[in-house]
Amino acid sequence: MVEEEGFRRYVAHIILWIGIAIVAFPVYLAFVASTQDNAVIANGQMSLLPGGHFFQTYYQTIFVGTSGSTREPVGNMMLNSLIMALLIALGKIAISIISAYAIVYFRFPFRMPIFWIIFITLMLPVEVRIYPTYKIVADLHMLDSYAGLSLPLIASATATLLFRQFFMTVPDELLEASRIDGAGPFRFFWDTLLPLSRTNMAALFVILFILGWNQYLWPLLITTRDDMQTIQIGIRKMITTTDALTEWPIVMATAMLAMLPPVFVVIAMQKLFVRGLVETEK
Amino acid sequence: MANVTLRSVRKTYPGGFEAIKGVDVDVGDGQFCVLVGPSGCGKSTLLRMVAGLETVTGGEIDIGGRVVNQVEPADRDIAMVFQNYALYPHMSVYNNMAYGLRNRGMAEAEIKTRVEEAARVLELAPMLERKPRQLSGGQRQRVAMGRAIVRQPKVFLFDEPLSNLDAKLRIAMRVEIRKLQRRLNTTSIYVTHDQLEAMTLADILVVMNGGQVEQVGNPLAIYEKPATTFVASFIGAPPMNLMSTRPDEIKSQLGSAGEAGILGIRPEDFVITDQTPAGGVALSLIVEAIERVGAETFVYGSRQQEEQRVAATPGELPPGEVIVRIPGTEAPGIGQTIRVAAVRAKLHLFSGDGRKRIEA
């Protein structure tokens, strides 16, 4: 890239800073709100500088919860969300990579119809098939369980297609060399294909973890017990209070906490993530 | 150590396309067999059938006295070197070579001995811990060879292993492959489209065209007595000059060989002379182009007569064009008319369709 000179460079930087401010200000505001006293916020006198209730608010949020009737500590909600997001992300990767392997490397009857059926499920997200899915989960007695939260969301056409595309770029000679080297289908998958897919899996994990973490509709439907609720549901429940003041500092603290795991995942896997998206060398 | 025998081997694809139309080849123990032919002639398919990567639809493939048509590649006791090397990109050089041995359940100590021995022979010892992407093309090629030799298989299969290398390295590796094969004395089948590689490497040369074997034999024997015009123009560079025997100029000189339709003369068998050797052929050429390569010079001349096309062959010259090789750098000027002649013993005669050699 050619370095811009003088004035043009400042303009570019100013535009970037404006962009950052637009994205970051609400987050900052949420953080400030989480450190203020609730009465101050209710009065509409919130300052733009952090208040002095940081430790107190966050302690209460994580370990106690709101003072309303549903007193579920946010720490527990985070754990639920984390388990659900991990199950969804890892489950999707495991299922997709195996089905992509079958579709790309094996010749079996109805291979292409099966591929198209998987492809078509792209058009049927949870929202569309919500009633039958709920019925099945309820009949299997999986309401209010981690299995119920994650299983229906695990099948993934997108990830299957992504792995299929990747497998198709792996040279055939690699499979042939493996066959001559005495590696059967399982060994080829485990010893060659999986290590080669490492960066793809990492990229996919980041996307799928965030997708799982942000689930709202499905957990809302199938969790009724407070101790099974995820953080996304929890936040909303905190806001609607019938006969008391909404505890905004706690809501905001919860929102801040809800942001942490995705941010952490992105930062931790950034390098692999980028490599997974751009890498072409095989 | 094993013979490889192909008995009327056929390959027909489900669509009905016949890639191999009945091939019989016998490769003796420790021999180096080269399959050569233009692209699409089926040579790679045939090799992959020997490897077990393609199914055999007819005939038998016999390795060391055992028909292997239904045997898995891993159990055929063969090792293959691929054109693009097919190294496992995520494994170190050491593991690339050790992988096949580990799958066979060999003891780690034995694997270490074998890999280190192979690395020593191939001068790979300093890079055993590197990944393939950190190696140059020539080094990757060596690793691919190493992976084959650590197995100590009955047969080596090479699928155009040198075509991804630059010209200089190709020649060096060609010599090395030959030396290595001599030393290990392992039966080898080698596929190439490069006739020079084929000539220099082969004990037995198999020239293929259109899924069929055109000629099998010792490379020099094939060079000296090509069985068809296809072989005549494919083996030898520049290709043999092929011309119709019909024009009076040639007919009058040939005399006896009445049934022959095509006359072939190699560029190197011409001499510039005004005399016509007894029973030989002399031609008048107008010099059109000169190529000096140092040790020799190629003269591209055209005959004045209208020339009829002869059977289509690869590397075919335009009708009426004749290449003459002369030693050194002395050459006639462009536009000059020269007389060239070849003695009787150097003439090759073929039937009119080019499918049959006629001994005069």
**Which chain A residues have a beta carbon less than 8 Å from that of B103?**
181-183, 187
Mark out chain B residues that contact chain A at CB-CB < 8 A. 51-53, 72-74, 78-80, 82-90, 99-100, 103-104, 133, 147
Residues of chain A with pLDDT under 50: 282
- Cα B275 to the chain's mean position, in Å? 37
- Domain end, chosen from B184, B203, B229, is at B229
Nearest-by-Cβ selection for B82 from A173, A183, A187: A173
Nearest to residue B322, comparing CAs of B305, B333, B163, A34? B305
Q: What is the CATH number of the domain that holds B153?
A: 3.40.50.300
Distance from CA of B136 to the nearest CA of A (A): 15
Determine, for residues A171 and B84 on separate chains, whether the beta-carbon distance falls below 8 Å.
yes
Q: Where are the alpha helices (DSSP H) in chain A?
A: 6-34, 38-42, 54-63, 74-105, 111-120, 130-139, 146-154, 157-169, 172-180, 185-187, 194-196, 198-213, 217-222, 231-239, 248-278
Residues B111, B218, single domain; the answer is yes
- Domain end, chosen from B210, B229, B248, is at B229
Nearest residue of chain A to residue B148 (CA atoms): A181
Q: What is the CATH number of the domain that holds B277?
A: 2.40.50.140
Residues B115, B244, single domain; the answer is no
Distances (CA, A) of A262 to A81, A94, A265: 11, 20, 5
Beta carbons of B193 and B36 less than 8 angstroms apart: yes
A82 φψ region: left (φ > 0), alpha (ψ -120 to 50), beta (else):
alpha
Determine, for residues B86 and A282 on separate chains, whether the beta-carbon distance falls below 8 Å.
no
Determine, for residues B89 and A196 on separate chains, whether the beta-carbon distance falls below 8 Å.
yes
Q: Is A170 on the interface with B (CB under 8 A)?
A: no
Residues of chain B with pLDDT under 50: 311-312, 314-315
Residue B322: strand pairing partners: B301
Residues B293, B197, single domain; the answer is no
The bridge status of strand B296-303 relative to strand B321-327 is: antiparallel
Domain count, chain B: 2
Model's pTM, two decimal places? 0.81
Give the pLDDT confidence score for residue B282 in this predicted structure: 85
**Which chain B residues have a beta carbon less than 8 Å from that of A194?**
none
For an interface test with A, which of B82, B140, B143, B158 has the most A Cβ atoms less than 10 Å from its Cβ? Answer: B82
Residues B180, B78, single domain; the answer is yes
Give the pLDDT confidence score for residue B110 in this predicted structure: 94
- Report the 10 Å Cβ neighbour count for B98: 22
The full 3-state SS of A83-142, as one line of letters, equals: HHHHHHHHHHHHHHHHHHHHHHHCCCCCHHHHHHHHHHHHHCCCCCCHHHHHHHHHHCCC
Tokens of B213: 């074997």
Phi, psi (rounded to 5 degrees) for B234 = -85, -40
Give the pLDDT confidence score for residue A84 in this predicted structure: 94
Q: Determine the Cα–Cα distance for residues B195 and B214; give it in Å rounded to an integer.
A: 14
Q: Is A173 on the interface with B (CB under 8 A)?
A: yes
What is the domain extent for residue B249?
238-358
- Domain end, chosen from B200, B229, B258, is at B229
Q: Determine the Cα–Cα distance for residues B32 and B28; give it in Å rounded to an integer.
A: 8
Q: Determine the Cα–Cα distance for residues A227 and A209; give it in Å rounded to an integer.
A: 21
Distances (CA, A) of A30 to A24, A48, A68: 10, 10, 21
Nearest residue of chain B to residue A186 (CA atoms): B103
Residues B348, B253, single domain; the answer is yes
Q: What percent of chain A has pLDDT over 90?
A: 41
Q: Is A136 on the interface with B (CB under 8 A)?
A: no
- Cα A89 to the chain's mean position, in Å? 7
Q: Determine the Cα–Cα distance for residues B50 and B159; give it in Å rounded to an integer.
A: 11
Which DSSP helix (H) or strand (E) runs through B292?
Answer: strand B281-292
Q: Is A127 on the interface with B (CB under 8 A)?
A: no
Residues B152, B12, single domain; the answer is yes
Nearest residue of chain B to residue A182 (CA atoms): B74
Give the pLDDT confidence score for residue A282 in this predicted structure: 43
* Position B39, amino acid: S
| ipTM confidence score | 0.82
Q: Where are the alpha helices (DSSP H) in chain B?
A: 43-51, 93-103, 108-121, 137-149, 167-184, 195-201, 219-224, 229-234, 248-254
Residues B279, B216, single domain; the answer is no
Beta carbons of B5 and B25 less than 8 angstroms apart: yes
